[in-house]
Chains A and B, each alone.
Chain A
């Protein structure tokens, strides 16, 4: 069992430092939900709703957006260069110390 620490800044600007497991096949959206942060995840993690959109604040390299993620972000609002869909970001050891901020709700 290995946990990493990540920081999630909610829409009020409050920072939540949470432990995220790397061995549970979880993604960033699910971590937010597990800590009851206000992420609706309407589509349940299928890159179809963008309610899990967040901005990557730290300089971690998350690799390229996948096709579904990219297509959804074309349609979503408030998209910036550092936007990602939380549900498409798997929790791995490389993300130790990650800082993300939740994007505004549509």
Chain B
């Protein structure tokens, strides 16, 4: 039998689909209500658009932050939610959902991981980021067998021969990183020009001079070969002679960027309008299926704005409603964090310093 069937089921209160800023902040608001969260994301790292599309660019409209780099915002959010110990299933796409008799849900990912939760909060942004794949016939059979479109664990490439293709930030940054890990890094790009942060471009230049990276431009990978796994790639130099070259390698990593697709969530029976999920914005951002909420860029309602601060607000109201759904008989009033402090699930506690009550004596006249 498939080993996937034997995998243990992950159980949580709120299952969040999407680790963008909205999904991350939902963990914090849920944590204040003592609800546990688990997050699924198709990407290898949390942060959604902020980390995937513009980590090194500034954002100017986060309340209270005159300027913050998108990557730093995500780092801060991760730090903020740490006490609430969210679980993560990364690099897997949420594929199917099943509603059980008791009103809870089972969500299964592309890799067969099952998650059982009372509440599902879809914070899927523009959709799950799917890699742009090079047009090479029969490429699928090498997927996860030396061929990868994103890097989850760089250690996999320790002492291996790696060929990276692409001309953007991720191709540059991973070439730099793997230069110290892999035994051989070859960077291939269709053009001679790269587009990325200046320091990345300069660093690659340095590593090429130091023979730590072999740079081949302009060139293209035309084919992948091997017996059950990647063993060689066929490269064509884009010079006059159109010279062909076979490169021996253990891994081929085309990094041509990622394009978001709403994907399987579109078939979950949710009301969809213009590629987004319709929700009740007068109350709690619930979808047409009770128990499933949609927050952040992925939802739509009259006047919707796709902004991070709007996602934060939606996440907050969603958690209140989720709490009521899980504990219909419990009364609850919102408490300010300044007043109530924060009790992490890890036993940590943060609280405001207490003021003291003490008499101040009058000036003594001698």
Residue of A nearest to B195 (CB): A71
Q: Is B257 within 8 A of A42, CB to CB?
A: no
Q: Collect the chain B residues with CB atoms within 8 Å of residue A74's CB.
A: 167, 190-191
Tell yes or no: B132 within 8 A of A by CB: yes
Report if A42-B259 is in contact (Cβ < 8 Å); known contacts: A71-B167, A74-B190. yes
Segment from A15-23, A43-51, A52-60 that makes contact with B: A43-51
List, in ascending order, chain B residues with CB within 8 A of A75's CB. 167-168, 190, 256-257
Q: Which of A43, A68, A74, A75 has the most CB of B within 10 A?
A: A75
Q: Once the chains are docked, how many angstroms separate the CA of A67 from the CA of B257?
A: 18
What chain B residues lie within 8 Å of A48 (beta carbons)?
A: 53-54, 257
Q: Is the CB of A68 within 8 A of B195?
A: yes
Please tell me if the beta carbons of B126 and A46 are within 8 angstroms of each other in the complex.
Answer: no
Complex CA gap A98/B259 in Å reads: 29
| B260 close to A (CB within 8 Å) | yes
Using CB atoms and an 8 Å cutoff, list the residues of chain A in contact with chain B: 40, 42-43, 46, 48-49, 67-68, 71-72, 74-75, 106
A98 to chain B, nearest CB (A): 26
- Ranked 9 nearest A-B pairs via Cβ: A71-B195, A74-B191, A42-B126, A43-B53, A42-B260, A106-B259, A48-B53, A71-B193, A74-B190
A68 proximity list for chain B (CB < 8 A): 195
Interface mask (B170-214 → A, CB under 8 Å = 1, otherwise 0): 000000000000000000001101010000000000000000000
B256 — which chain A residues lie within 8 A by C-beta?
A: 75
Can you list 30 A-B contacts with CB-CB less than 8 angstroms, sorted by A residue number? A40-B126, A40-B275, A42-B53, A42-B126, A42-B260, A43-B53, A43-B54, A46-B53, A46-B57, A48-B53, A48-B54, A48-B257, A49-B259, A67-B195, A68-B195, A71-B167, A71-B191, A71-B193, A71-B195, A72-B195, A74-B167, A74-B190, A74-B191, A75-B167, A75-B168, A75-B190, A75-B256, A75-B257, A106-B132, A106-B259
Please give, as numbers and ranges, the residues of chain B lying within 8 Å of A42 by CB-CB distance. Answer: 53, 126, 259-260
Which residues of chain A have C-beta atoms less than 8 A from B275's C-beta? 40
State in angstroms the CA–CA spacing of A28 and B6 once bound together.
53
Task: List residues 92-141 of chain B with CB under 8 A from any CB of chain A.
Answer: 126, 132
- B residues less than 8 Å from A40 (CB atoms): 126, 275
Task: Supply 18 further A-B pairs (C-beta < 8 A) apart from A43-B53, A74-B167, A75-B190.
Answer: A40-B126, A42-B126, A42-B260, A46-B53, A46-B54, A46-B57, A48-B53, A48-B257, A49-B259, A67-B195, A71-B167, A71-B191, A71-B195, A74-B191, A75-B168, A75-B256, A75-B257, A106-B259
- Cα A75 to Cα B126 in complex, Å, equals 21
Minimum CB distance partner of B132 in chain A: A106
Nearest A residue to B135, CB-CB: A77
Name which residue of chain A comes closest to B126, CB basis: A42
User: Which residues in B have their C-beta under 8 angstroms from that of A49?
Assistant: 259
Which A residue's beta carbon lies closest to that of B167?
A75
CB distance from B170 to the nearest CB of A (A): 12
CA of A43 to CA of B167 in the docked complex: distance in angstroms? 17
In the complex, which residues of chain A have a beta carbon less than 8 angstroms from the beta carbon of B190? Answer: 74-75
- Measured CB to CB, the nearest residue on chain A to B190 is A74
Q: Closest approach, in angstroms, between the C-beta of A56 and any C-beta of chain B?
A: 23
Least Cβ distance of B192 to chain A in Å?
A: 11
Interchain CA distance A40-B54 in the complex, whole Å: 17
Residues of B within 8 A of A72 (CB): 195
B23 to A: closest C-beta gap in Å: 18
**A67–B190 alpha-carbon span in the complex (Å):** 16
Shortest CB–CB separation between residue B93 and chain A, in angstroms?
18
Most chain A CB inside 10 Å of its own CB: which residue of B190, B191, B256, B257: B257
Contacts of A67 in B (CB 8 A): 195
Contact with A along B157-177 (1 / 0, CB 8 A): 000000000011000000000
CB distance from A49 to the nearest CB of B (A): 7
Binary interface encoding of chain B residues 252-263 relative to chain A, with 1 for a CB under 8 A from any of its CBs, else 0: 000011011000
Residues of A within 8 A of B53 (CB): 42-43, 46, 48
